[in-house]
Amino acid sequence: MLNFDTIIGARDAIRLKKISAVELTQQAIARIEAVDGRVRAFNSTCAQRALEQARLVDQGRRGGELAGVPIAVKDNLCTTFGTTTCSSKMLENFHSPYDATVIQKLESAGAVIVGKTNLDEFAMGSSTENSAFGSTRNPWNLNCVPGGSSGGSAAALASGACCGSIGSDTGGSIRQPAALCGVVGLKPTYGRISRYGLVAFASSLDQIGPFGWTVGDAALLLKVMSGHDPKDSTSVPHPVPDYPAEIDRPIKGLRIGVAKEFELTAGMDPHVSSAVDEAMKVYQRMGAQRVDVSLPHTEYGIAAYYVIAPCEASSNLARYDGIHYGHRTKKPVNDIIDLVSHSRAEGFGDEVKRRIMIGTYALSSGYYDAYYVRALQVRTLIKRDFDQAFNQCDVILSATSPTAAFAAGEKTADPLQMYLCDVFTVTCNIAGIAGISLPCGFTPGDQPLPIGLQLLGPTFGEETLLRAARMYESATDWHQRRPALK
């Protein structure tokens, strides 16, 4: 692990000259070389560039709130350095001509980007097994998955290869891998962080967010990345609070909502239920009040999500035809239909093809109203449920995932079982609200696996959400545990 593995710890150590930015970057590069052959969190690294950026920090020519801190970014964020592959053969050799806005913001704050992390192809999946470049493994147990689709970013952090990382969350793709890898993951309100330069999956659901070992780390990354961006039409011109400044101020009379619909979820691991119940008791001992709330349309969340997301994916991925963008077949073809068909068949993996077909079908004539329009109507009802619930409480508490990390290959043959991993997370994206996952326990056994606690907050309620999460973190030590990965 790094000598200073949290973002705030690393930043302060560099400021106090306990370690140089170059030394910390060298540690990160050495750690990647030592463990990533087994974890496979990274699609690519940029060691030479990272060392050059770190050297500028040590020379006083680069500064900011993240000066010298090693950060990993998900490989669906465009960068002018290296490739941006989305873990797909379709974009295997794509070199972006521009940087995503979040990349610009991170580097303006002095962050040292050490590499780009693996993901489920085009961010479609819950286990990071759908990558064209091999599956990522969980640093707590290399026989298990790290979650997905941002599993590479979560595993890179958990393996000690960086101090923080960036992912994207379309239906739980930051929070679920954060839970399975024992780190903190935050999905901000839709529109809080610019999506300019994020390769689109489902444009009305996608949101970029941070991973860190602590809530404070997530708060600092959120502050750096947030803000209005005229390049993104969905970016909201909403004031950005100083999240880290307020985070340690407990919320007096915190009202925590518990939705009966989340408690009745089938397939819930009893160890997960027990850990989440204990987390609620910790809050109550700190003076928080439990409020029973109802989210009556939760049961339709998975069905609505797996109509809306594939429909938008079908539209967004239509551009990858081997002519305008992406992989082009080398097979002999007779006409343009052959060219497009062979290029897309070769370039896309099975899960991406499955979702494109679902989306294309749902958008087709005669089915559009029956599926897509109805899913959008359910979306409105789910958003209304949350609005009403937040009139009664400040945050809503649940498990992040119904189980801890599962064995690699366990669910790949059954897409429906994989989709059900998102049961607690998808409604947050459907409603466009904020959510955070933080460690709240471990499973028993010889190789304990992390369990994640999810807190959901209202639109642009990240400040309250982070303070509530920090309250629990300050009363427990789960966030201090690290995997025994040599």
Question: What's the pLDDT band for 414 if we cut at 50, 70, 90?
Answer: confident
Q: Is 212 helix (H, G, I), strand (E, B) or coil?
A: strand
Closest CA to 216 of 397, 456, 9: 9
Q: Is 76 helix (H, G, I), strand (E, B) or coil?
A: coil
CA distance 209 to 38: 26
pLDDT of residue 264 exceeding 80, the answer is no
Burial class (CB in 10 A: 0-12, 13-18, 19+), 305: buried
The residue written with tokens 């989340």 in the block is: 262
Q: What's residue 419's pLDDT?
A: 85
Q: Which helix (H) or strand (E) holds 301?
A: helix 301-316
> What's the pLDDT tens digit per position in 282-315?
999 999 999 999 999 999 999 999 999 999 999 9
Catalytically annotated residue among 131, 168, 173, 314 = 173
> What's the pLDDT tens digit per position in 115-136?
999 999 999 999 999 999 999 9
Closest CA to 399 of 421, 430, 431: 421
Q: What is the largest CA-CA distance in the chain?
A: 72
Supply the pTM of this predicted model.
Answer: 0.97
- In single-letter form, the type of residue at position 51 comes to L
Whole-Å CA distances, 424 to 133, 265, 266: 28, 9, 11
Question: What's the pLDDT band for 74 if we cut at 50, 70, 90?
Answer: very high
List all residues 6 or more positions away from 125 whose beta carbon is below 8 Å from its beta carbon: 119, 148, 149, 351, 418
Q: What's residue 440's pLDDT?
A: 98
Q: What's residue 413's pLDDT?
A: 83
Instruction: List phi, psi (to 5°) of 45.
Output: -125, 160
Question: What's the pLDDT band for 68 if we cut at 50, 70, 90?
Answer: very high
Q: What's residue 148's pLDDT?
A: 95
> What's the pLDDT tens digit per position in 15-27?
999 999 999 999 9
Q: Are 485 and 159 in contact (CB under 8 A)?
A: yes
Assign 3-class secondary structure to 33-66: HHHHHHHCCEEEECHHHHHHHHHHHHCCCCCCCC
Instruction: Give start and end residues of each alpha helix (H) in 348-395.
Output: 350-363, 374-389
Mean pLDDT within 221-244: 97
> What's the pLDDT tens digit per position in 439-459?
999 999 889 999 999 999 999
**Cβ atoms within 10 Å, residue 407:** 11
Full set of structural domains in the chain with CATH: 7-251+436-480 (3.90.1300.10)
Q: What's residue 412's pLDDT?
A: 85
Closest CA to 188 of 432, 413, 393, 1: 432
For the chain, percent of residues with pLDDT exceeding 70: 100
Q: Over the chain, what is the mean pLDDT?
A: 96
pLDDT of residue 265 exceeding 90, the answer is no
Q: What's residue 1's pLDDT?
A: 73
Closest CA to 227 of 217, 214, 247, 242: 242
CA distance 237 to 338: 45
Instruction: Give start and end residues of each alpha helix (H) in 432-481.
Output: 462-474
Q: Which residues does residue 42 pair with via DSSP β-bridges, in sequence order?
A: 117
CA distance 431 to 428: 5
Catalytically annotated residue among 87, 135, 149, 401 = 149
Size of the chain in residues: 486
> What's the pLDDT tens digit per position in 370-408?
999 999 999 999 999 999 999 999 999 999 999 999 999
Q: Which residues does residue 396 pair with via DSSP β-bridges, in sequence order?
A: 257, 456
Active site residue 294: no
Active site residue 437: no
CA distance 483 to 32: 15
Burial class (CB in 10 A: 0-12, 13-18, 19+), 480: exposed
Q: Are 60 and 182 in contact (CB under 8 A)?
A: no
Burial class (CB in 10 A: 0-12, 13-18, 19+), 447: middle
- Strand 207-212, strand 184-187: pairing: antiparallel
List all residues 6 or more positions away from 116 whose beta carbon is below 8 Å from its beta carbon: 42, 43, 44, 45, 46, 72, 73, 74, 75, 77, 79, 82, 83, 84, 85
Active site residue 173: yes
Q: What's residue 63's pLDDT?
A: 95
- Strand 289-293, strand 395-399: pairing: unpaired
